[in-house]
Structure 1
């Protein structure tokens, strides 16, 4: 998704699945803890329904609506963590697995960590 979009501008937009079926309305946007980039949207799936989390990458903002490249049924079955609270790394991992998305492995440890600059190893 475009990373230059203000996440506040997503709230209230209609959301559609990959077939063009309306899913609901964007209720909340969750930012990545490390980067501050919008990562998840909570979609209100009906007047009395719960919110379902959808990944903003690879979703797209098309003609003012959020297009999510997954079927409505899969979105409806997403793990329910409640809204208004922080998503833990474990919860995010569950969501990534639910949607069949690969996540990048953590970067390798910095081999230079703890060394003093300019010092040669003996």
Structure 2
């Protein structure tokens, strides 16, 4: 993910899958608690007003849209945790597994998935 992008600027952008099919619109951006780097985007898919979490790494911002390098069907099958809340370490690990991403073992007390604009606790 381009780290020079303001995470709030992603909200409202259209998101597309690896084939160029529209997934939906970015609803929220979640930051890594330890680094402050944008890590996940919640994309409103339009299916029953559901948000699907997508990883921002290795996604790219192209022109005015977010390009996610996964098939639309995989994205729509992502675990649904709702939006507006902090992602627990267990929820984030479920997302990593869903997308087949490799993650080094986090420290047991590490928090994940702070919302952009949310103050760290």
For the aligned residue pairs, the C-alpha RMSD in angstroms reads 1.3
**How much has 1:62 moved relative to structure 2?**
0.6
**How much has 1:7 moved relative to structure 2?**
0.4
Q: Distance in 2 between matches of 1:47 and 1:12?
A: 17
CA deviation profile, 1:4-55 (whole Å, cap 9, x unmatched): 1100000000000000000000000000011111000000001732000000
Matched, 1:33 2:49: no
Aligned positions, number:
107
Q: Gaps spanning 5+ residues in structure 2: where?
A: 108-121
**How much has 1:63 moved relative to structure 2?**
1.2
CA deviation profile, 1:67-111 (whole Å, cap 9, x unmatched): 00000000000000010000011100000000000012348xxxx
Q: Distance in 1 between matches of 2:99 and 2:89?
A: 15
Larger Rg, first or second structure (1 or 2): 1
Query: Helix, strand or coil for the counterpart of 1:24?
Result: strand
TM-score by length of 2: 0.85
> Relative contact order (C-alpha < 8 Å, sep 6+): which is higher?
2
TM-score by length of 1: 0.84
